[in-house]
Amino acid sequence: MKDKVVIITGASSGIGLATARYFGDRGSRLVLAARSEDKLKKIEKQFKQDGIQVLSIPTDVRIESDCKNLIDKTIEHYGRIDILINNAGVSMRALFGDLLLDVFHTVMDTNFWGTVYCTKFALPYLLETKGTVTGVSSVAGLQGLPGRTAYSASKFALHGFLETLRMEYRSYGLHVFIIAPGFTSSNIRMAALTANGKPQNSSPRTEGKMMPADQVAKHLYCGIKKRRRMIVLTSTGKIVFLLRKISPRLMDRLTLYFMSREPGSPFEG
Protein backbone atom coordinates (compact mmCIF):
# COMPACT_ATOMS: atom_id res chain seq x y z
CA MET A 1 0.00 0.00 0.00
CA LYS A 2 3.05 2.27 0.17
CA ASP A 3 2.85 5.19 -2.28
CA LYS A 4 -0.71 4.30 -3.30
CA VAL A 5 -2.78 7.41 -3.99
CA VAL A 6 -5.81 7.28 -1.69
CA ILE A 7 -8.77 9.67 -1.79
CA ILE A 8 -10.87 9.78 1.38
CA THR A 9 -14.11 11.75 1.58
CA GLY A 10 -15.48 12.86 4.92
CA ALA A 11 -11.86 12.95 6.09
CA SER A 12 -12.08 15.71 8.70
CA SER A 13 -13.37 13.54 11.56
CA GLY A 14 -14.44 10.09 12.73
CA ILE A 15 -13.78 7.08 10.52
CA GLY A 16 -12.50 9.26 7.68
CA LEU A 17 -9.83 10.95 9.78
CA ALA A 18 -8.81 7.68 11.46
CA THR A 19 -8.54 6.03 8.04
CA ALA A 20 -6.40 8.87 6.71
CA ARG A 21 -4.03 8.51 9.65
CA TYR A 22 -3.84 4.72 9.27
CA PHE A 23 -3.06 4.84 5.55
CA GLY A 24 -0.72 7.80 5.91
CA ASP A 25 1.32 6.15 8.64
CA ARG A 26 1.89 3.25 6.25
CA GLY A 27 3.22 5.33 3.40
CA SER A 28 0.14 6.00 1.29
CA ARG A 29 -0.18 9.33 -0.49
CA LEU A 30 -3.38 10.98 0.66
CA VAL A 31 -6.08 13.24 -0.70
CA LEU A 32 -8.41 14.44 2.04
CA ALA A 33 -11.85 15.77 1.15
CA ALA A 34 -14.44 17.38 3.44
CA ARG A 35 -16.58 20.50 3.56
CA SER A 36 -14.59 22.31 6.27
CA GLU A 37 -11.51 23.94 4.75
CA ASP A 38 -10.27 25.04 8.18
CA LYS A 39 -10.33 21.51 9.59
CA LEU A 40 -8.67 20.10 6.48
CA LYS A 41 -5.84 22.63 6.62
CA LYS A 42 -5.11 21.81 10.26
CA ILE A 43 -5.06 18.09 9.51
CA GLU A 44 -2.91 18.62 6.41
CA LYS A 45 -0.39 20.67 8.41
CA GLN A 46 -0.15 18.03 11.15
CA PHE A 47 0.18 15.15 8.68
CA LYS A 48 2.94 16.93 6.76
CA GLN A 49 4.81 17.52 10.02
CA ASP A 50 4.58 13.76 10.56
CA GLY A 51 6.09 13.06 7.15
CA ILE A 52 2.87 12.07 5.40
CA GLN A 53 2.29 13.09 1.77
CA VAL A 54 -1.10 14.77 1.76
CA LEU A 55 -3.27 17.09 -0.28
CA SER A 56 -6.49 18.55 1.13
CA ILE A 57 -9.33 19.63 -1.16
CA PRO A 58 -12.49 21.25 0.28
CA THR A 59 -15.35 19.23 -1.17
CA ASP A 60 -19.10 19.03 -0.68
CA VAL A 61 -19.89 15.61 -2.15
CA ARG A 62 -23.53 16.66 -2.67
CA ILE A 63 -22.29 18.95 -5.46
CA GLU A 64 -21.34 17.20 -8.69
CA SER A 65 -18.83 19.86 -9.73
CA ASP A 66 -17.07 19.63 -6.36
CA CYS A 67 -16.59 15.90 -6.88
CA LYS A 68 -15.21 16.45 -10.37
CA ASN A 69 -12.84 19.07 -8.98
CA LEU A 70 -11.68 16.60 -6.32
CA ILE A 71 -10.70 14.05 -8.94
CA ASP A 72 -9.19 16.62 -11.32
CA LYS A 73 -7.03 18.13 -8.58
CA THR A 74 -5.88 14.67 -7.49
CA ILE A 75 -4.74 13.78 -11.01
CA GLU A 76 -3.10 17.18 -11.41
CA HIS A 77 -1.13 16.67 -8.18
CA TYR A 78 -0.35 12.93 -8.16
CA GLY A 79 -1.06 11.79 -11.72
CA ARG A 80 -3.00 8.68 -10.67
CA ILE A 81 -5.66 7.27 -8.34
CA ASP A 82 -5.33 3.86 -6.69
CA ILE A 83 -8.04 3.90 -4.05
CA LEU A 84 -11.25 5.89 -3.59
CA ILE A 85 -12.82 5.63 -0.14
CA ASN A 86 -16.37 6.98 -0.17
CA ASN A 87 -16.80 7.74 3.52
CA ALA A 88 -18.66 11.07 3.65
CA GLY A 89 -21.98 10.54 5.36
CA VAL A 90 -24.76 12.04 7.44
CA SER A 91 -27.42 10.33 9.53
CA MET A 92 -30.90 11.33 10.71
CA ARG A 93 -33.34 10.39 13.47
CA ALA A 94 -37.07 10.89 13.14
CA LEU A 95 -40.24 9.11 12.10
CA PHE A 96 -40.72 9.24 8.34
CA GLY A 97 -44.12 10.93 8.75
CA ASP A 98 -42.52 13.79 10.68
CA LEU A 99 -39.47 14.13 8.44
CA LEU A 100 -39.10 17.06 6.06
CA LEU A 101 -38.37 15.80 2.56
CA ASP A 102 -35.44 18.22 2.39
CA VAL A 103 -33.78 16.15 5.12
CA PHE A 104 -34.31 12.97 3.09
CA HIS A 105 -32.70 14.68 0.10
CA THR A 106 -29.73 15.84 2.18
CA VAL A 107 -29.04 12.32 3.44
CA MET A 108 -29.42 10.72 0.01
CA ASP A 109 -27.36 13.44 -1.69
CA THR A 110 -24.52 12.97 0.77
CA ASN A 111 -24.43 9.22 1.34
CA PHE A 112 -25.55 7.93 -2.05
CA TRP A 113 -25.12 10.61 -4.71
CA GLY A 114 -21.79 11.70 -3.24
CA THR A 115 -20.53 8.16 -3.80
CA VAL A 116 -21.96 8.05 -7.31
CA TYR A 117 -20.41 11.39 -8.30
CA CYS A 118 -16.94 10.68 -6.92
CA THR A 119 -16.90 7.16 -8.36
CA LYS A 120 -18.08 8.34 -11.77
CA PHE A 121 -15.24 10.83 -12.17
CA ALA A 122 -12.59 8.58 -10.61
CA LEU A 123 -13.54 5.44 -12.55
CA PRO A 124 -11.34 5.95 -15.67
CA TYR A 125 -8.26 6.41 -13.49
CA LEU A 126 -9.13 3.49 -11.20
CA LEU A 127 -9.48 1.25 -14.24
CA GLU A 128 -5.98 2.26 -15.34
CA THR A 129 -4.50 1.19 -11.99
CA LYS A 130 -6.89 -1.75 -11.39
CA GLY A 131 -7.66 0.13 -8.22
CA THR A 132 -10.28 0.01 -5.49
CA VAL A 133 -13.63 1.71 -4.95
CA THR A 134 -14.73 1.49 -1.33
CA GLY A 135 -18.09 2.33 0.19
CA VAL A 136 -18.32 2.86 3.94
CA SER A 137 -21.76 1.48 4.67
CA SER A 138 -23.45 0.44 7.93
CA VAL A 139 -25.62 -2.25 9.46
CA ALA A 140 -28.37 0.13 8.29
CA GLY A 141 -27.51 -1.05 4.77
CA LEU A 142 -28.24 -4.64 5.80
CA GLN A 143 -31.32 -4.13 7.97
CA GLY A 144 -33.71 -1.19 7.91
CA LEU A 145 -33.46 0.82 11.13
CA PRO A 146 -36.69 2.37 12.47
CA GLY A 147 -36.33 6.11 12.94
CA ARG A 148 -33.65 6.26 10.27
CA THR A 149 -35.53 5.76 7.00
CA ALA A 150 -33.39 8.11 4.91
CA TYR A 151 -30.14 6.77 6.34
CA SER A 152 -31.09 3.13 5.72
CA ALA A 153 -32.38 3.95 2.24
CA SER A 154 -29.07 5.64 1.37
CA LYS A 155 -27.02 2.67 2.56
CA PHE A 156 -29.20 0.09 0.78
CA ALA A 157 -28.81 2.18 -2.39
CA LEU A 158 -25.06 2.31 -1.82
CA HIS A 159 -24.91 -1.50 -1.69
CA GLY A 160 -26.93 -1.86 -4.89
CA PHE A 161 -24.77 0.62 -6.75
CA LEU A 162 -21.43 -0.84 -5.68
CA GLU A 163 -22.43 -4.49 -6.10
CA THR A 164 -23.58 -3.78 -9.65
CA LEU A 165 -20.42 -1.80 -10.38
CA ARG A 166 -18.37 -4.79 -9.22
CA MET A 167 -20.07 -7.05 -11.77
CA GLU A 168 -19.88 -4.57 -14.63
CA TYR A 169 -16.12 -4.04 -14.28
CA ARG A 170 -15.03 -7.42 -12.97
CA SER A 171 -13.11 -8.26 -16.15
CA TYR A 172 -11.28 -4.92 -15.97
CA GLY A 173 -9.69 -5.73 -12.62
CA LEU A 174 -11.60 -3.12 -10.63
CA HIS A 175 -11.85 -4.01 -6.95
CA VAL A 176 -15.08 -2.97 -5.21
CA PHE A 177 -15.14 -3.22 -1.43
CA ILE A 178 -17.99 -2.54 1.00
CA ILE A 179 -17.37 -2.23 4.73
CA ALA A 180 -20.38 -2.24 7.03
CA PRO A 181 -19.50 -1.16 10.57
CA GLY A 182 -21.90 -1.63 13.44
CA PHE A 183 -22.36 1.27 15.82
CA THR A 184 -19.00 3.06 15.84
CA SER A 185 -17.72 5.75 18.15
CA SER A 186 -17.76 8.90 16.01
CA ASN A 187 -19.57 12.21 15.70
CA ILE A 188 -22.18 10.93 13.24
CA ARG A 189 -24.90 10.71 15.91
CA MET A 190 -24.06 14.18 17.24
CA ALA A 191 -24.47 15.59 13.74
CA ALA A 192 -27.52 13.44 12.87
CA LEU A 193 -30.39 15.49 11.50
CA THR A 194 -33.74 15.74 13.28
CA ALA A 195 -37.12 15.94 11.57
CA ASN A 196 -36.67 19.63 10.73
CA GLY A 197 -33.09 19.26 9.53
CA LYS A 198 -31.28 20.59 12.60
CA PRO A 199 -28.45 18.52 14.15
CA GLN A 200 -29.52 16.71 17.30
CA ASN A 201 -26.20 17.70 18.97
CA SER A 202 -26.22 14.71 21.30
CA SER A 203 -25.78 10.97 21.06
CA PRO A 204 -28.51 8.61 22.26
CA ARG A 205 -25.87 5.93 22.82
CA THR A 206 -22.86 5.34 25.06
CA GLU A 207 -20.06 6.17 22.64
CA GLY A 208 -17.33 4.64 24.81
CA LYS A 209 -18.84 1.16 24.45
CA MET A 210 -18.70 1.21 20.66
CA MET A 211 -15.93 0.17 18.27
CA PRO A 212 -13.38 3.00 18.01
CA ALA A 213 -12.91 4.64 14.63
CA ASP A 214 -9.27 3.59 14.45
CA GLN A 215 -10.28 -0.08 14.63
CA VAL A 216 -12.67 0.45 11.73
CA ALA A 217 -9.79 2.08 9.84
CA LYS A 218 -7.60 -0.98 10.44
CA HIS A 219 -10.28 -3.33 9.09
CA LEU A 220 -10.83 -1.03 6.13
CA TYR A 221 -7.11 -0.99 5.32
CA CYS A 222 -6.81 -4.78 5.55
CA GLY A 223 -9.97 -5.31 3.50
CA ILE A 224 -8.61 -3.19 0.66
CA LYS A 225 -5.16 -4.74 0.87
CA LYS A 226 -6.60 -8.27 0.70
CA ARG A 227 -9.16 -7.20 -1.95
CA ARG A 228 -12.13 -8.41 0.05
CA ARG A 229 -15.69 -8.00 -1.24
CA MET A 230 -17.38 -7.03 2.02
CA ILE A 231 -16.70 -6.96 5.74
CA VAL A 232 -19.35 -6.64 8.45
CA LEU A 233 -17.96 -5.33 11.73
CA THR A 234 -18.88 -5.76 15.41
CA SER A 235 -20.72 -8.69 16.95
CA THR A 236 -24.03 -6.85 16.61
CA GLY A 237 -23.44 -6.26 12.91
CA LYS A 238 -22.58 -9.91 12.29
CA ILE A 239 -25.67 -11.10 14.20
CA VAL A 240 -27.84 -8.77 12.12
CA PHE A 241 -26.26 -10.04 8.89
CA LEU A 242 -26.85 -13.71 9.76
CA LEU A 243 -30.22 -13.47 11.50
CA ARG A 244 -31.74 -11.44 8.70
CA LYS A 245 -31.06 -14.38 6.35
CA ILE A 246 -32.35 -16.99 8.79
CA SER A 247 -35.45 -15.25 10.16
CA PRO A 248 -36.28 -11.83 8.70
CA ARG A 249 -39.46 -11.42 10.77
CA LEU A 250 -37.62 -12.11 14.01
CA MET A 251 -34.91 -9.68 12.94
CA ASP A 252 -37.54 -6.99 12.35
CA ARG A 253 -39.01 -7.47 15.84
CA LEU A 254 -35.61 -7.45 17.51
CA THR A 255 -34.53 -4.35 15.58
CA LEU A 256 -37.68 -2.47 16.55
CA TYR A 257 -37.22 -3.43 20.19
CA PHE A 258 -33.54 -2.51 20.18
CA MET A 259 -34.00 0.87 18.50
CA SER A 260 -37.02 1.83 20.63
CA ARG A 261 -34.86 1.57 23.75
CA GLU A 262 -32.71 4.50 22.69
CA PRO A 263 -33.12 7.52 24.97
CA GLY A 264 -35.48 9.98 23.29
CA SER A 265 -36.55 7.43 20.70
CA PRO A 266 -39.13 8.89 18.27
CA PHE A 267 -41.26 5.75 18.55
CA GLU A 268 -42.13 2.94 20.90
CA GLY A 269 -41.30 -0.70 20.25
C-alpha dihedral sign at 234, 237, 242, 247: positive
Say which residue, 203 or 233, is predicted with more confidence.
233
pTM for the structure as a whole: 0.90
User: Is residue 50, in this structure, part of any structural domain at all?
Assistant: yes
Q: Which structural domain, as residue segments, surrounds residue 234?
A: 5-260
Rounded mean pLDDT of 185-204? Answer: 72
Residue 139 lies in a domain: yes
Candidate ranges 74-88, 171-185, 245-259; pick with highest mean pLDDT = 74-88
Domain assignment present for residue 269? The answer is: no
Q: Percent of the chain beyond pLDDT 90?
A: 74
Q: Which helix (H) or strand (E) holds 250?
A: helix 248-260
Residue 265 lies in a domain: no
- So what's the pLDDT on residue 187? 61
Q: Is 151 a catalytic residue?
A: yes
151, 172, 221, 257: the active-site residue: 151
Domain count within the chain: 1
pLDDT bracket for residue 269 (50, 70, 90): low
- From CA 180, how far away is CA 156, in angstroms rounded? 11
Residue pLDDT, tens place only, 24-44:
999 999 999 999 999 999 999
Residue 268 lies in a domain: no
Q: Give the start-end residues of each E strand in the chain.
A: 5-9, 29-34, 54-58, 83-86, 132-136, 175-180, 184-185, 211-212, 230-232
252 located within any domain = yes
In a domain, 266, yes or no: no
Q: What is the CATH number for 19?
A: 3.40.50.720
